[in-house]
Structure 1
Amino acid sequence: MYGTRVSLTKKQAFNFCEMSCLSRDQEVCVMAWGDPHESEVLVGSVNGTVKTFSTDKGIFTATRECGDHSQGRFTGLAVTDSSMITCVESGLLKVWKEGSTETVEVNVGNEICRMRQNPSQRHHVATGGKENPLKVWDLERPDKPIFTAKNVAHDWLDMRVPVWVRVYDPSTPQRRPVLEAQFGEYPLTALSLPASQDTVVVGNTHGELAILDLRKGLVRGCLKGLAGAVRGLQCHPSLPLVASCGLDRFLRVHSLEDRSLQHKVYLKSRLSCVLLSSRELESSADLSGDVEEVKAEEEKDEVWDNMETVTEKTKKRAAQKDEASVTGVDGKKKRKLVKK
């Protein structure tokens, strides 16, 4: 919730904030790498500040006021060569240029749920939200979107078709989706593309994770082990792994090849988002207490997994009675129940 680094190879978790002086308005909403070398992490909080964390020094090095709490939470955070991009729920997208107090403001519509950057064209971003269809923006020409999605036609009952996972092709005049995939009946809360990009991993409000095939629109498989809504989800940039976090306060890493659970770490605080590193980060602080807590949690899991299931047969009331054979006055044998 407030900034934790987890090393799965060393079985260590490091909290870089003083928990005793934190408040709810410092809750982390979004995270993004600040440079291609992954030496800085940008952390956006509920109170509208964006902090810069140095992975080499292990400390926060800068804080910038990038919004007002009344405008809503951050829904996206990204960087270009010399600028930082922020977007909030009210639909205000800002481009913060380095070394300048002036910002470029773009109104992308109300009730924005997510803003994402195109990794291959970093000046292109996509936005979408409630009653606000997908739009693609060119921040070099932000006057109007370069692509606006169009909803599909109503069904045979003239009712609106709910939005699940849709694939669009902005290179064609077609503004409706070219493919649609459905999963379950609960709202989706997180989505991430693996390195192969022929599938997508989605999570919903009931802790269900699924791998969807973007070529056929079918569910390829499900990832088990979660409890509670999925809050954060990210696939590794090069390995077939996906990390997820949710309301149950566990960080889980699943394999996308056999869908097995690779790692499970209890992190105590409420988790809202996750950011994976493509390289091993060294810690400059000695936090052995947190290391012991992670190991203890894993040992508990192993103990519970190895315990045998003991079943106890319930004793019925009839089993507590004995049968006795007696001879009646007519000379016939009869059975008589005798209580113990």
Structure 2
Amino acid sequence: MGDQSRLCSVWLGSETGILKGVSVTHKQAFNFCNTRQLSRDQEIRVLCWGDPTETELLLGTVDGTVKTFSTEKGIFTEVRRCGDPEEGCFTGLEVRNSSVLTCVESGKLRVWREDSSEPVSELDAGKNVCRMRQNPVHPNRVGTGGKENGLKIWDLERPETPVFTAKNLRDDWLDLRRPHWVRDLAFIPDCDKVVTCTGHHQVHVFDPVSPQRRPVLEAEFGDYPLTALSLPASGDSVVVGNTQGQVAVLDLRKGLVRGCLKGLSGGVRALQCHASQPLVASCGLDRFLRIHSLEDRRLQHKVYLKSRLNCVLLGSQELRGGAEGEDGGAEGEVKEEEEDEVWDSMERVEEDTTKRKSSSSEGEEKKKKKKD
């Protein structure tokens, strides 16, 4: 499995608990999991790199455990308890120096050391948290947001109170309160601004440096809840996806839609732009991994992975595929060895056909008597 994991440039977490790796270059997909413990409790909700060299992968599951996967060996090397299932699923997983940051739906944001089974520090980000993200430039700062839980930016060195708390939107033209529902967020590079997408199909940009706590930019896309966003390397636009499989690129300077990415047929659950190439990967309910070009918005790669997908993580290496198909995308050959082993290990139940024959013969005799 180590040779297979080294080939993978894209990693995905599924509802079935299977960690999936995709090699765009070789157009292959692989499953990495322990088939004996495969259950819905092992559903993967979040993914992140464990080290800058990308030799370790951290994944958070529904049962509150964080697993470490070695991309060099192709095996899971560590499992640790970092939460309680009663507190909700993981909404964020990040690495800060030698510590691991976790956040769950109940708002418990914890810092864990490698050699400790108890959190070093803990803060309460409020209820119904949908996403926690770390500032890549300032690792001590993280952002949180959720349903009726506006954007908050925290300094982990001073976790008593947030350093920034977004103010609710102004009332509408009927003087009715406008609800807010942060579904995803990201820190814009080279500045202190934060962009969020909401369950009310809105995109907001906040500037913690300015005295204004309301959004400095408001934009809307579509009519359905936005579920995920990601920032390209340029930093002047944002890619957003919604529950209907619509993905668009929005300009962060004017708030206008630059274009839409076509080909998706199910709700989008995760998006990630490549760190150096103009590419964006998407996954969701339709069980496909898709990689689009942000330059011409064409579909570059498309791989069917059999399971509903929750999260996607790209490596820093360049994504280069083989020949394109008729639809402009390279179809990936999917190898589901691990899943096949699960079905092969099950006991075979043979149907008893004697009862069926006897019941059918009795029915025929009754029909004959009625005719007579």
Aligned match of 1:136 = 153
Higher relative contact order (CA 8 A, sep 6+): 2
Residue 240 (structure 1) shift:
0.4
Aligned match of 1:110 = 127
* Residue of 58, 76, 79 corresponding to 1:63: 79
Q: Amino acid of the residue matched to residue 316 of structure 2?
A: S
Aligned match of 2:245 = 207
Cα deviations across residues 132-162 of structure 1 (Å, max 9, x unaligned)? 0000000011000000000121111112345
Alignment of 1:109-258 (within 5 A): 109-161=126-178, 163=198, 164-258=202-296
Judged with a 3 Å threshold, the aligned counterparts in structure 2 of structure 1 residues 13 and 295 are, in CA distance, closer, same or farther, namely closer
Cα deviations across residues 190-225 of structure 1 (Å, max 9, x unaligned)? 111111110000000000000010000011100000
Cα deviations across residues 85-142 of structure 1 (Å, max 9, x unaligned)? 0000000010002323442110000000000000000110000000000000000110
* Residue of 1, 9, 13 corresponding to 2:25: 9
Residue 5 (structure 1) shift:
0.5
Residue 21 (structure 1) shift:
4.3
Structure 2: gaps spanning 5 or more residues: 1-13, 180-197, 320-330, 336-372
Q: Name the % identity.
A: 68
Cα deviations across residues 267-305 of structure 1 (Å, max 9, x unaligned)? 111111100001279xxxxxxxxxxx94389xxxxxxxx
Q: Structure 2: how far apart are the matches of 1:141 and 1:182?
A: 34
- Say whether 1:266 aligns with 2:304: yes
Aligned match of 2:59 = 43
Structure 1: gaps spanning 5 or more residues: 282-292, 298-340
Query: Could you tell me whether the CA contact under 8 Å between 2:247 and 2:262 is conserved in 1?
Result: yes
TM normalised by structure 2 equals 0.75
Query: Could you tell me whether the CA contact under 8 Å between 2:98 and 2:114 is conserved in 1?
Result: yes
Q: Amino acid of the residue matched to residue 119 of structure 1?
A: P
Aligned match of 1:88 = 104
How many residue pairs were aligned?
286
Cα deviations across residues 53-73 of structure 1 (Å, max 9, x unaligned)? 111111111001001111000
The 3-state SS of whatever aligns with 1:70 is helix
Residue 18 (structure 1) shift:
4.0
Larger Rg: 1
TM normalised by structure 1 equals 0.81
Judged with a 3 Å threshold, the aligned counterparts in structure 2 of structure 1 residues 20 and 249 are, in CA distance, closer, same or farther, namely farther
Return 156-165 or 24-33, whichever deviates more: 156-165
- Say whether 1:79 aligns with 2:117: no
The 3-state SS of whatever aligns with 1:25 is helix
